[in-house]
């Protein structure tokens, strides 16, 4: 799948998959929301509104009110690809969210998962 195809996917299709991954492992919706809020700066109400819209996944990140500068500290591999080696900054942010959700699903506590 190309970057453009990922960017064009509806947020309303992607977000529930991320949430389900964490919920299957005993995490809560509030924890998923905390991760997304930390990364993007959206409020819970913003996210609910966007989930009810047709916003593409790429635009969810492009329009984020306050991408957390500490996100640059999120490193490692996701799907066999090192985040810091991804050339497209938008795809890096998408993969950072994937990495955070993976860490959440693996039982990592929020205070250790989110860099300062």
> Whole-prediction pTM value?
0.94
Domain range summary for the chain, segments of one domain joined by +: 3-111
- The pLDDT value recorded for residue 7 is 97
- The pLDDT value recorded for residue 73 is 94
The pLDDT-based confidence of 115 (bands split at 50, 70, 90) is confident
Give residue-wise pLDDT tens across range 50-109. 999 999 999 999 999 999 999 999 999 988 899 999 999 999 999 999 999 999 999 999
Task: Check if CATH label 1.10.8.290 holds for domain 3-111.
Answer: yes
Alpha-carbon distances, residue 45 vs 27, 34, 37, 49, 111 (angstroms): 20, 12, 11, 6, 23
- The pLDDT value recorded for residue 1 is 78
The pLDDT-based confidence of 46 (bands split at 50, 70, 90) is very high
């Amino acid at each position: 799948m190309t970057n453009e195809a990922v960017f064009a996917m509806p947020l309303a299709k992607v977000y529930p998959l991320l949430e389900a991954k964490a919920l299957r492992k005993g995490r809560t919706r509030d924890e998923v929301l905390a991760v997304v809020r930390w990364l993007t700066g959206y409020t819970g109400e913003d996210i609910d509104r966007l989930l009810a819209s047709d916003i593409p996944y790429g635009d969810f990140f492009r329009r984020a009110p306050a991408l957390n500068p500490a996100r640059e500290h999120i490193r490692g591999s996701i799907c066999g690809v090192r985040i810091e080696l991804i050339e497209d900054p938008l795809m890096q942010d998408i993969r950072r969210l994937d990495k955070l959700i993976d860490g959440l699903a693996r039982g990592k506590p929020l205070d250790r998962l989110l860099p300062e």
